[in-house]
Each structure stands twice: as C-alpha cells, then as structure tokens.
Structure 1
Amino acid sequence: MTPLARRLPRELKHNLGKYLGIFLLMCGSIALTSGFLLAAHSIGCLIDGMRDEYAIEDGRVTTSFEATDAQAKAAEDAAEGVGGVTLYKNFSIDAAIKKPAGDDGTKRTLRTYAHRTEVDLASYCEGAEPQADDEVAIDRVFATNNGLAVGDTVELEGRAYTICGIMTQPDSQALFLDNSDFTINTVTYGVAEVTDTGFAALEDAGGAPTYTYSFVFNNRGLSVADRTDAEKDMVDALTDADARVDDLIDADSNQGIGYARDDVDGDSVMWTTLLDIIIVIMAFVFVVLTDSTIEEESAIIGTLLASGYRKCEIVLHYLTLPAIVGILAALLGTALGVSVFTEPMRSLYYGSYSLPPFHVFWSWEIIVKCAVVPAAALILITLAGLLRKMGKTPLQFLRHEASGKAGTKRGLQLPERIGFVSRFRLRVFLRDLGNFATLFVGIAFASLLLLFGLAILPTMTHYADNLETSLVAAHQYTLKAPLELEGTAEEREQWAALDRLQSVDGALLTAAEDAQDELDDAADAAQAAAEAAMASPSAASMQAASDALEEAQDKKDALYARLDDIADALGCDRDEIIDLIDDASDIDADNDDIHPVNTTDNGAEKIAQAEKYTVYQLQYDRGEGNGVETVTIYGVSPDSRYWKGLGVGDGRVVFGRGLLDKFGWRQGQKVGFHDKYEDKDYSFEYAGDNSAWGSKSDMNVYMSIDDFNELFGNDPSYFNGYVSDEELDLDSRYFAGDTTPDDMRAVGDQFIGMMSDLIGMMVGLSVFIFLLFMYLLTKAVIDRGARSISYMKVFGYRDGEISHLYIRSITLCVMAALLLSQPVIIGSLTAIFRSMLLAYNGNIEIYVPWWSIAACVGIGFATYLVVALLHTRSIRRVSLSEALKVQE
C-alpha cells in the first residue's frame, strides 16, 4: 500500500460525518428517484398496452338524444375513406349513490354503464362482473376512498344494488366528471357497471341517460390528422342526418384516457431534474470541502510535490474518497429504489388512478440514469475542481498560497471604528465567502422544496375557494336543448305525452308512423275504389272496392299491432297510447320558435328567480406545443341578477381574469379561438382591464345572450342553461348537468388528498437537505478556522466566547440566507407553477400565506440550531496543540 493510500482510512475517520452526510443524501435521493422512475416506467408500459388489451376506443361522440340506426349508419359511412369505423352504444347514467349505513350526506355520483363486452373492457381486480339485475361493479379508487367492498349494499337513484366486483375501466383511468375539469375527483365521483336490465331500472328510477357512442377505426394506425378529419366528417354526417351533437372527444383529448400517462411522464421529468440538481449541488459541496482540505493540507501537498510526487497522483488521492462515496451511494441508492421504493411510489399513482394490476417492467435506461450518470457527474465536477485547485507550484503550496494569488496575502483593511467582535465576524465571513455562497444556494434550494410543500395546500385551498365563489348561484344547470319553465297545464300535458312517447325505442315509433302512413294511403285507395264502384257498378269495380277495403283493414290491424308494441313498452293499453298521440299532435313541431315545456311546474317563485343563459366551449391554442385550452363562452342577460357588474351587451366581450393571468394578453390584442366541432375560427378583442371580470381562476369569456346567439348562428330565443338559487326539477330528457359550490369544493379537496403523501415526503426531504448542507458547509468554516480557534484558547478565550464569535457569524449568514432567499423562492415557485401547469386546463394562482414563509424560515433555523450544537462540540474539541504546529 502506497503512503498516500495509507492516509485514506485516517481521512475517512477524521471526516466521517462529512462523508456520511453526503452519502446519505445522495443515496436517499437516488433511491427515491430510481424507485419512482421504475414505477413510472412500468405504469407507462402498462398504459401503452391497454389500448389493444382492453379495446380502448379511438374517440366518442355524444348526442342530445339517442341516434337512430340511420343516423349511426350515416356516421359510419362518413369514415369509409379511412378504412371504416364502428360505432358502439356506450350510454351512461350519472346516478346518485348513497351508502345505507354511515352515509354523511355528501353528494356522490357514479357514472354507470351497462356492462361492456366490445369496447372499453373493464379489468376486474376483485369479485366478478354483474350477473343479476341488482348487482353493480364499481371503480377501485372510488371504492377505496369511500370504504366500499364486495358484498356491500348501496343505493343508486334510490334503488338497492349489491357490489359484486371491484374493477377499473380503461376509458376512466383518471376520474374526470367533465373532460374540461382541471383535476380528477376520486372521492365524490366514480364509474360503475350494471347489467342491461339494471341499467334500464336506473333509467326508470329517474336517471338521465347520456347518449354516448364510442367509435373504433378499423385502421388503428391512422395518423392524428387523418383521424381528426374522419371524426369531423362523422360529426357533419350526424348533423346532416338531424342528430344534435353535444360533444366529440378524440382519445388523445380524453383526459380519462390520456391524463394518467401525461402525469406520469411529467412527474418523471420533474424527479429526474430534481435528482440532477441535488447531484450537481452535492458535487459542488465536494469541491468546496475538498478545497478546504487542500488549503488545510497545503504544506503537506507542497512537501509531496517537492519530494517527487506528481500532481496526477495527488489529484487521484483526493478524488478517491469522493469517488468511492459517490459510487457506493449511487449503487446502493439504485438497489434500494428498485427493491424497496418502487412499491411506495406505485401506490402514489394507484391511489389516484384507476389502473389494472401492477407489475414491473425492467429498464436499463433507469439504471444508467440513476446509478451511472450521478456518479460520473459527481466525479467529473469534483475532478474539475481539484485540477483547478492543483494548478499551483510546490512553493505556493508550502507558503499556503493555494487559495490566493502568488505573493503574501493581505486581508482587506476594515475601518478602525468597527469593534473587535464585529471585525472578527466580518473576517470570518470574508475568508469563507465561497463556502457561504454555496451555503446560500443550498439553503435556497432546500427552502424551495420546503416552501413548495408548505404552500401547495394553501394554494389548492385558495384555488378551491376561487372555484366555489366563481359560481354565481347555488345551482348552474346545463341543458341538452332549450326547455321552458313557464307554460300552461295543457302545454305541460302535451309535452309530457311527447316525452313519454319518445322514451320508447325509436324503431317502434318509426314503425308506427310508417303503419299510419300506409293506413292513410290504403284508406284513400279504398275510398277511391268505393266511389268508382258507385259511379260505375260492375262486378270488377265492386271486387276492387272490396279488395281495397280489405287492404285498408289489414293496414289498420298492422297499425294497431304497432300501437300495441308501444303500449307494451310503456306498460299501458292501446287507448292510452292513442290519447298520448292525440295530445302530442297538438304541438306545432314545425315552429322553430316553440321550445319544449318542462312537464313539472316548479312554482311561480322559483321560475321567477331562475335566469336563462347560453354556454358553449371553444379552444385556444396555448402555443409552443402545449396543446389547447378549453374555454367556456357564456351568453348572459345584460341586466343579470347573478352575473353582477359584468356589463355585457352591444358587442362587448368580457374575459375572465384567469385567462389574462395565464396568457398575459395585452390591451387591444385580438385573441383567436377555434370551434373543433364546426371547424370555425372566432376572434375577440381584449379591450383592457375594464373588460376583465372574476377571480384568477375564472377561465371563461362572457357576452350578452343576444350577441352569443348571433355569433354562433343560433335562433334568437335559444338558450341551454339556467342559473338559480333554488333547486329546480327539470325533465331528465333535457337535463345535462347541475354544478353547485359543493362540486367546486370537491375539486380542491380531491387535489389536497392527492398531494398529502407527496407533501410529507417533500417536507422531510427538505429538512434533511437543510440539515446536511448546513452541517457540511458550516463545518468547513469551523475546520478552516481551527488554528485561529486554538490561538484564541491559548490567549485565554473560553469555549463559549469562541462559539459566540464563530457560531454567531455563521448564524447571521444562515439567517440572512433564509430571509433573502424567500423572494427568489416565491418568484421561482411562480415560474415553476406556470411552466408545470401551462399544458393543463385552468389557472392556479400560487398562494403563499405569511405563515408558510414563517414556517419555512422557522424550520430552516430550527434545523440550523441542531447543527450549531454540533459545532459547539467541535469547537470544544479543538486542542491547544494546534497553535504550536509549524506553518511551514
């Protein structure tokens, strides 16, 4: 063993705390990152394979009413140019769910489907698919968050169902109540499956079906452009066939399908970046500590160089321990991440996303990224620092000039009026300026992580408060088509009759209409034959009249048979069906100015306080490949009692402040929006601050209802929503949704629940980084001043007085770093939030309350106090003999 190699164990023992701290931080960071990346990689591979394994749709189209066979055929024919497409009924009912035992009254919704066997196939992790009409299978995440298990009984729309299975649906990997929502909701919203008969029972119980048709292209390798063109053609075909299209969502735009994968990919980049930052900071800590060691052992290095040792040998010697520590930390951290931390990291996602059973997909790229790259980066940066430091002559090392320029070093002349204590502390600071600069960076980085963890809950609570207050009424109803609240009893009876008739299979009604037309034609023919026989009696004419009458009777029997089919479907008799048809026929269906009338009378007071509005969604291109923002366009009354102070009318457009805060539009700027359903572009001008309204979470655009209908080419009397402070009873056939403040609050609560585990991890990691950075870098200050501390002991200074001089200097620098870094951190957090959330719908305003800043400073300083106690012990251990050592 060479003489230099013999020094390594002594150096490791002498600096055990320093190397142990660096080892723990690097090993822990790599373990967490490698565990996460392997879990994320495995989840990504799992999601990628779901498209074929579970027959995930290529898109879906939603119509206001059930499409006829002819309308569905028209849509399929429109895609013949790209190889064809198949439409599948994927109807759902947003059923209110209650737990008979222990229900807390919270509004919960299960989007319930009839069991699917051709597209979007469910994956069962427990139990089995529903077989009986009173069985239901529910989503795994919703079941977990609500304490439900197989065998429990729940109520859907007031009807009892037994949970027979726990499953996940591939088109609801992320539980979004609405595709434009900002975040998932796994507490009050979930998905479920029942049998076909069970689905019909929910509809009979008052559940309003959503008529969704999932489609799968025969050529699943279509480019996005070809697929988009085909989908537009399908919508056009449906519209031309008199079907009212409410929504079109391509699989790539469906957050229920793509959000989980995007989140995993985004988090992977964030974790990799975090690891890179920690490794770079660790490398610079190594450089600072190695510099301190070289300055401390400057005379020894000079002697070695003068004795014939080459610089490369000395560089290799001082690089050995950092390299060994770095390599061991990288290898052990990666091994721990793969074997121990993959499962906890998987749980972070499986607690939020509905995914099939997990299994690991191995990746050598992750091993290289987490083991090889960090160790190599640490070694190279440390080597660069050593080479820079070793660029001195042996004589310079012997004269302790390794840290400065050649010649005698002279301290900075300080004013005489400054007291001894202040001058001493200032000398300590100036002498170790590099260490303190690195300490500032480390404290700022740890404070950034800590403040992010402390501020995320207040930020999301603030966001939820904004969402809750952004609703202008207790209920914001959306409709599939205009529905008048006001009407006479006779009108309600007529529309009730039509609604009841239209609730049966459209094929039955079509068959009845065809039979009526055939009967009318047969009756006309019989009358004509009878008149001809009377005008010219003959055996032939009499036979013709008889045949015509017989045919008319057959047509009448056929009509009655069709009416009996409708009666059987509605559970009544033929006479009642005829009465319903008579009532419905009184409606002037050809008059476009006549809207359906709600069949339930809500009362004069409720009707009077309800207010009509119009709503539609357009897309805004965020630019730079960040996708499109879904923006809701509202048409409201200029003198609205709910949207107070909005000031719309006469062509004036008002923008929500969230849009302005997120995109930074300038006064006079023309803002372009696109209608993906009609393939039209619209442009609105931002007129300045006087045309902004709402909170920074308001992502809407407002105009008068007249301007809205004129812009979108609607009938002047068109509307598709009500705002109301009173609960309204609306016909399920026209009802689309009801948004309440509780729904908005649930969004914030859900996000808080999702982040709680991650927040604890970030706070713990931040405190650990605080502790290590402060200890390592401030220890370098103590070690560098060991000779001065020894001199002071010789001159009679007590340990407490010396600590007062040294520790107080470090304390002031730490406090200054904690306080001065806060504005930088808040600005960095704002920039990070903007860049992270730019590609997502909505606008979250970073909200950092004073107490979180105080907590960040307090936790940082409390952590330093622990370090200061350790340094006080180090000062006591400095011996008097240090002052007697020869300098040269």
Structure 2
Amino acid sequence: MKNPLRKRILREFKQEWTKYLILFVFMSAIISFISGFFVASGSIRVLYDNGFERYNIENGNFEYYAEASEETLCTLEEEGISIYENFYVERETDQIESSLRVYNERSEINGVCLMEGEFPKEADEIIIDRMYADNNEIEVGDTLVFDGEDLIVCGLAAFSDYSSLFSGTSDMMFDAMKFGVGMMTEEGFEQLGEVGLHYNYSWIYAEEPADKIEEKEMAEDILTALNEHGMVTNFIPRYLNQAIVFTDEDMGNDRIMFSAFLYIVIAIIAFIFAVTTSNTIAKEATVIGTLRASGYTRGEILRHYIALPVLVTLLSALVGNVLGYTFFLEVAKGIYYASYSLPTFELTLSGDAFVKTTVVPVILMMVINSVIIAGKLKLSPMKFLRRDLSARQKKKAFRLNSDIPIMSRFRMRIIFQNIPNYLTLAVGIFFANAIMILGLAFPALLKNHQEMISQSIVCENQYILKVPANTETEGAEKYCAYTLVTTEEKIKSESVSVYGLVENSKYIDIDGDVLGDLAEGEVIISSAYADKYDIAEGDEIVLREEYGEEEYTFRVSGIYEYIAGLAIYMSMDSFWECFDCEEDYFNGYFSEEKIEDIDEMLIATVITEDDMNKMSRQLTVSLGGVFDIFYYFGLVMFAMIIYLLSKLVIEKNAQSISMTKVLGYTNNEIGGLYIFSTSIVAIASFLLTMPLINKVMEVVVRIMLSSYPGWIPYYIPSASFVRIALAGIATYGVIAFLQFGKVKKVPLNMALKNVE
C-alpha cells in the first residue's frame, strides 16, 4: 500500500509555493554561478596542466650579462639540462603607455597558441599576447609603434610561459595593460638591434624532479654552475616564475573560496527550511500526534518533513548545473580570460564540480534539517495531541516592568516568542551584509591603495642600474639596492628591497642621524612590510639571498611610513659593510626628472608610479565585475531572508493577530506590533553586526591578499556602510509593505480555531 503521507507533499507545496519558489530560484542562481566557475576552472586547469607537455614549457630561465659561448652552453648542459636561446628585446610602445617584451621566433620551447590571425611571416609583422591586446583595444591588422618601429599586428596568441603577464619575479602583480609579450620572425627580431636586448636562456631537465624539494636543489646546482661561467643577471626556476605558476595557485584559491561560499549559503538556507518546517510541525501538532498514535514512526514522519527541502535542493542543483554548463560557463570563462593569458578554451566535463554543487548541498540540506527536525519529533504522541511542544516543563513567562507601555511590552513578548526565528534572521543578515561589504569594499580598497601610493611615491623616476654610472641630471640622488627574500613559513617567499641611503636623503624622509646611529644589524623597515608580517620595533627578521643560501638577520629599529612595497633602509656605509661592497658603490638613482645621459644598456629597470599601481590596477580590471555580482547577490540574499522569516512570524502568530482584530485593534495598530517587532530585530541586527563584519572582513581580506607579493592595507570607507544601510532600509521597506498586506488578510474567524 502506498504511503498516504506522500499525498501531503504536493498539498504542502501548493500551500507554501511562494517560499519554495523563492528558495528554488535563489539556490539555482547561486549553484549555477558556482558550477560555472568550477567547470571553467576545472577545464582551464586541464589546459594548464597539459600545456607543460604540449608546449614544452621551460623548467627555468637565466640571463647572462653578455651572450654565452657555445662552449659555455655545452658545459652547462652537462648538469643534465638542455639549454635553448630565448633572447628578447624589451622597449616602450609609442601610441599606448606600455612596455612590450618581444621574443625571437620559437620552435622548440615555450610554444605559442594562436588564437586569432596568423603567425608572423614578414620582418615587420608581430604576434602579441591576446589579453594585452584586449586591454589596449588592439586588433589584428593594427599598426603597433614599438620604440619608433612600425609593426603590423598579424595575430593574437597565448604565450605558454606567460599565463599571467608578470614582467619579473619582484612584481607585486601582473599588469596586462602596461606590459605585454610578442614574437617576431628571426629577421624581424635581428632588425630591432641591441638596445634593450636580454641574453636570456631557457632550460629543460633531462629528467623531471620528483618533487619541489628536489626541484629546488637541482635549481641551486644549476645556479652554482652558471656563476662559474659568467655574470648572472637573472635566474628564475619554474617554481619561482610567477608568470607560469601564479595562474595555478590563484585558481586553486578561487575553488576553495567558492566552495566555502556555496556551503555557507546552503547552510543558511537549510536553517531557514528547518525553522519554517518547525513552524509547520507546530501547526500540525495534532495531526502528527494522531499519526504517531496510529503507528507511524518518527523516522517516517521525519522523512516526510525533510522531503520537500531535499527535493527543492536537488532540483535547484540540477537546474543550476544545467545553467552552469551553459550560460554561466561563458560568464566564468570570460572572467578567467580577462585575468589570465590562456590558450583556446576546451571544455572538460568535471565530476568534481557535480559532487561539490549537487551531492554536497543535498547532503548538507538533509543533515541540517534532519538534526533540527528530529529534535522536534522526540516528543510523545500525547504531547503532540495536546499541542504541548515544549521539551521541558513550561515556565511562567517572566514579568515585564509594568511601567513599560503596554504596546512596547506586547512587542517584547513577540520578540521573545520568536527568538529562534530572529536568531536565524540575525545570522542571515550578518552573512548577507558581509557579502555586500565584500562587493563594495574591495574596489574602494584598491582605489584607496592607488591614492596612498600617489601620496607616498618616493620620486617620479627610480632607476636601478646594471653597473654604476654617473649622471649630470639635476636633483638625482644615488642609492644602493639589493634584493633579499623572506623566509616566513606562513606566507610564500617574496622579495624585499634593501636600500642603502645617503645621509639626509631628499627622497626617503629618514633623519640622517637616525640612519647613522643604527647599530650593526639594525634597520628601518617600511610600514607595508611591518603591517603584512606583523612586525614591531625590536623584532628580528631573517632574510636570505634571492639566488643563494646566505641568510641575513636584522633587528627592526624603526618603521618608515611607506606602503608601496616591502623595503628595508640603512645607511650606505652599513649597506657596503653588510653586502661586502666597495666604498662609493651604488646602483641606482632617485630622480624627479628623467635621466637621459646614461646609456640605456646600463639601466636595468625604471620604476614609476604606474609600476607601483600594477597590483590594484590589474585586480580592478580582472575582478571589478565579480565584486558587483557579490554586492547584488548579498542584497538579494538579505531581501529573501527578511521576507521569508518575517512572513513566518506573521503566519506563526496568525491566531493572535486574529484575536487582536476581534478585540478591536486596527490593521495599522497590529502592523505596529508584529511588523515593527521584526523591524526592531532587523535594524538592530543590521547595526550590531556591522562592527563585527568589519573585523571579520579585515581578517578575510588579509588572508586573501597575503598570497600576493607586496601589500595592500585594509580599508573600508564609511560610505560603503552607509550605502549598505540605505539599500537595506529601502529593501526592508518594500518587504514590510508586503507583510502588512498579509496582516490585513488574516481573517477574524481564525481566533476561534484551536482554542484550548
């Protein structure tokens, strides 16, 4: 015989179809969005992993100051590697403010995926990175002026060794607007000349290292051999090459973040289902008591009440996955291809995505509802028949001060009677506000970082030289610079700039006496370094050589307000002694004016304000649209939670509302009791959770940004909180109006039902 309880499922759905429809649409939307990202990132991960073999991506690259001889290269290959020439010329482009790194034609290593147009055939043709072209609105057939040379863009491509467009390992962030890569024919490359020419070589291991530890050891052996045969000016093993590995690491973080986001939202919805089902159980107490007395087990009744939440979740997951594999796949793909320079997309079906967006949400919904509803069903059949649903002996309601006005006491009673509903409401508002804050605050944080850099920039042009060279440029100030890397285990190693300054520097506002009085091993560090690694005055820091094993221990004597990078400051004398340099050695200039009397061949790098703003600029381009989605999603989540739970409060108290109507209260007065009570809780939750959200977001943002080189300090403007408050109040006003309509519809005869 069929279970008669099944017939009630459709009837229950019809009675509360608005609730189930709202939750179905909301869950379908969030699951489709997350599913689209999982499928896109999974497919891209397969492309990325297969690319190492398909495009023969290098295990590392190094650069000599001068071209290496064939004899030197043959000797180096005895280390168990194959070496390939990978020379490039890097210069400024004329019609757009950017630099372009142009490689000679490749055939054996670091393959190129053609995405539009064709490979260069003539000496004046160039193929450039697709993302760089998109960001600068360059199309196939356009003319690109490269340091005075007119080049025809014949194609757009993805360069396998530049999935993220980092120009160097010390970059805080890649910058696909101001930096790009390209490739020319051998004839065309030779015509570029030697200005900006880098003698770069790539290597491939004869046998791949077993793990990262062995890879590091093998790279150190290669570096030792390289130093024996020439002056190494750059050395980047694959595991340190941000242009190659950043994409993999960043996508891994994305999947963790989206998984956590999905499960938190599903858990909140599960609690909403559980709370509303508990209200249904209270309304149907006598029916449940009759069924239990008739022989139905708690398990059968439990399965009945969790059936609709689980079915709605399952249906939402299936619809969400269909949308995720179609519409939202294109959305996610567009976001990833706006962030990374990737080869042509190939869809890979992902069982992992299905499990995370279908199986896990359904199980989560089932477990949370089962635990909460099972607790409600532990009562005896007699208690259900008597509508006595308290698990413990009823206590008398505590007395409220009679000096409190009657209407205020009434509202307080309503709040106390609906504490579980209002607690769920408060938690939901907390998460909805956190999501909205993330959507609003991150763009503001990036904008604030750009403004702070503009205010704290050392000079208009900061030059780093390959070898010391003098200049007559007015105002130019010498300095020493060296790069060390952190040894902090919690955060991956990153570069720290060490500066040796002249006494009373015009550019770094540190008193010369302070620098001169520093004891051996004492330094001053930038505020960005102190903030990111939680370093205070008196602490010791340990750094090591970027391309070596020697470690340096420094004691922090002071903190200099500078947020544009991680830096250490000492006097020139201390620098010479620390790094065993000759007196009068220097390798850089601070200057407000461009230095034009030093040969470009002697200049390693020029750092400007644009370079400092790479990180915030690229994050804005890549993620701006994503954070807009977060804001509106949070607002919709807020509206949904308020609507469903305020609706529940009115339905739960329908008999009391009917009774107050019988006693002569008007609809406006009743609305002032029940809707105003919910308003108090909603507004209080809104205001009280904001300081907590601010603290939580500070932790979340620090974790998110700690994996990036450099530092962006946490900042949320007051305007963001005001905007969220106004949006929340406006949204709640609409919902309160809808709920007032429900109050008016409560019939007078309901007061006569279930009278005990």
Q: 1:86 maps to which residue?
A: 82
- Say if 2:215 is the partner of 1:240: no
1:326/1:379 contact within 8 Å kept:
no
Q: 1:727 maps to which residue?
A: 594
2:335/2:623 contact within 8 Å kept:
no
Give the aligned CA root-mean-square deviation in angstroms.
Answer: 1.8
Q: 1:255 maps to which residue?
A: 242
Q: 2:118 maps to which residue?
A: 128
Q: Distance in 1 between matches of 2:26 and 2:46?
A: 30
Q: 2:453 maps to which residue?
A: 467
Offset of 1:60 from its aligned partner?
1.0
Q: Distance in 1 between matches of 2:488 and 2:20?
A: 47
Offset of 1:414 from its aligned partner?
0.5
Q: Percent identity?
A: 33
Within the candidate set 187, 193, 208, 1:203 is matched to 193
1:797 alignment partner, SS class: coil
Residue deviations 1:333-377 (CA, integer Å, cap 9, x gap): 122212332121111111121111001111212212211111111
- Say if 2:134 is the partner of 1:144: yes
Q: 2:554 maps to which residue?
A: 684
- Say if 2:207 is the partner of 1:219: yes
1:108/1:189 contact within 8 Å kept:
yes
Deviates more, 1:191-200 or 1:229-238: 229-238
- Say if 2:649 is the partner of 1:781: yes
User: 2:556 corresponds to which letter in structure 1?
Assistant: Y
Offset of 1:754 from its aligned partner?
1.3
Q: 1:758 maps to which residue?
A: 626
Offset of 1:762 from its aligned partner?
0.7
Offset of 1:173 from its aligned partner?
0.7
Deviates more, 1:359-368 or 1:223-232: 223-232
- Say if 2:581 is the partner of 1:714: yes
2:161/2:243 contact within 8 Å kept:
yes
Q: 1:791 maps to which residue?
A: 659
User: 1:424 corresponds to which letter in structure 2?
Assistant: F
Q: 2:510 maps to which residue?
A: 645
Q: Distance in 1 between matches of 2:560 and 2:150?
A: 46
Residue deviations 1:659-714 (CA, integer Å, cap 9, x gap): 11111124433211111423201100123xxx101234431111112211221122
Offset of 1:404 from its aligned partner?
4.9
Kindly tell me: are residues 2 and 876 of structure 1, through their superposed partners in 2, closer, same or farther at Cα, counting changes over 3 Å?
farther
Within the candidate set 822, 842, 848, 2:690 is matched to 822
- May I ask how many residue pairs the two structures share in their alignment? 749
| TM-score normalised by length of structure 1 | 0.82
Q: 1:749 maps to which residue?
A: 617
Deviates more, 1:692-701 or 1:803-812: 692-701
- Map 1:297-696 → 2, pairs under 5 A: 297-407=284-394, 409-485=395-471, 604=472, 606=473, 608-624=474-490, 626-645=491-510, 647-649=514-516, 650=518, 651=520, 652-687=522-557, 691-696=558-563
Residue deviations 1:239-275 (CA, integer Å, cap 9, x gap): 233x221221111111100111111111011001111
Kindly tell me: are residues 3 and 881 of structure 1, through their superposed partners in 2, closer, same or farther at Cα, counting changes over 3 Å?
farther
Q: Distance in 2 between matches of 1:12 and 1:363?
A: 33
1:356 alignment partner, SS class: coil
- Say if 2:4 is the partner of 1:8: no
1:315/1:387 contact within 8 Å kept:
yes
Q: Distance in 2 between matches of 1:399 and 1:173?
A: 68
User: 2:110 corresponds to which letter in structure 1?
Assistant: D
User: 1:396 corresponds to which letter in structure 2?
Assistant: K
1:614 alignment partner, SS class: strand
Q: Distance in 1 between matches of 2:232 and 2:637?
A: 55
Q: 1:588 maps to which residue?
A: none
- Map 1:58-207 → 2, pairs under 5 A: 58-77=59-78, 79=79, 84-99=80-95, 106-203=96-193, 207=195
Offset of 1:70 from its aligned partner?
4.2
- Say if 2:569 is the partner of 1:702: yes
1:203 alignment partner, SS class: coil
User: 1:421 corresponds to which letter in structure 2?
Assistant: M
Q: Distance in 2 between matches of 1:670 and 1:874?
A: 66
Offset of 1:181 from its aligned partner?
1.7
1:615 alignment partner, SS class: strand
2:170 alignment partner, SS class: coil
Kindly tell me: are residues 75 and 706 of structure 1, through their superposed partners in 2, closer, same or farther at Cα, counting changes over 3 Å?
farther
Offset of 1:37 from its aligned partner?
0.6
- Say if 2:698 is the partner of 1:838: no
Q: Distance in 2 between matches of 1:855 and 1:640?
A: 44
Residue deviations 1:603-626 (CA, integer Å, cap 9, x gap): x4x2x41111121211112314x4
Kindly tell me: are residues 75 and 471 of structure 1, through their superposed partners in 2, closer, same or farther at Cα, counting changes over 3 Å?
farther
Offset of 1:281 from its aligned partner?
1.2
User: 1:179 corresponds to which letter in structure 2?
Assistant: T
Offset of 1:91 from its aligned partner?
1.9
Q: Distance in 2 between matches of 1:735 and 1:876?
A: 79
Kindly tell me: are residues 70 and 454 of structure 1, through their superposed partners in 2, closer, same or farther at Cα, counting changes over 3 Å?
same
Offset of 1:211 from its aligned partner?
2.3
Residue deviations 1:500-538 (CA, integer Å, cap 9, x gap): xxxxxxxxxxxxxxxxxxxxxxxxxxxxxxxxxxxxxxx
Residue deviations 1:192-246 (CA, integer Å, cap 9, x gap): 1112232233236xx31122211111112454333333332333333233x2212
Q: Distance in 2 between matches of 1:227 and 1:752?
A: 34
| TM-score normalised by length of structure 2 | 0.96
Q: Distance in 2 between matches of 1:72 and 1:648?
A: 45
Residue deviations 1:73-127 (CA, integer Å, cap 9, x gap): 44333x1xxxx1122222222222234xxxxxx5211111112112111111112
User: 1:460 corresponds to which letter in structure 2?
Assistant: L
Q: What are structure 1's unaligned runs of at least 5 residues? A: 100-105, 486-603
Q: Distance in 1 between matches of 2:455 and 2:210?
A: 44
1:61/1:213 contact within 8 Å kept:
yes
Q: What are structure 2's unaligned runs of at least 5 residues? A: none
Offset of 1:746 from its aligned partner?
4.7
Q: 1:49 maps to which residue?
A: 50
Kindly tell me: are residues 706 and 317 of structure 1, through their superposed partners in 2, closer, same or farther at Cα, counting changes over 3 Å?
same
Q: Distance in 1 between matches of 2:354 and 2:393?
A: 46
Residue deviations 1:591-650 (CA, integer Å, cap 9, x gap): xxxxxxxxxxxxx4x2x41111121211112314x4212211111112211111254234
1:94/1:111 contact within 8 Å kept:
yes
User: 1:653 corresponds to which letter in structure 2?
Assistant: V
Deviates more, 1:656-665 or 1:227-236: 227-236
Q: Distance in 2 between matches of 1:148 and 1:451?
A: 35
Q: 1:103 maps to which residue?
A: none
Q: 2:258 maps to which residue?
A: 271
Deviates more, 1:358-367 or 1:446-455: 358-367
Q: Distance in 1 between matches of 2:232 and 2:295?
A: 87
Q: 1:542 maps to which residue?
A: none
Question: Larger radius of gyration, structure 1 or 2?
Answer: 1
Offset of 1:310 from its aligned partner?
3.1
2:166/2:173 contact within 8 Å kept:
yes
2:65/2:199 contact within 8 Å kept:
yes
- Say if 2:637 is the partner of 1:769: yes
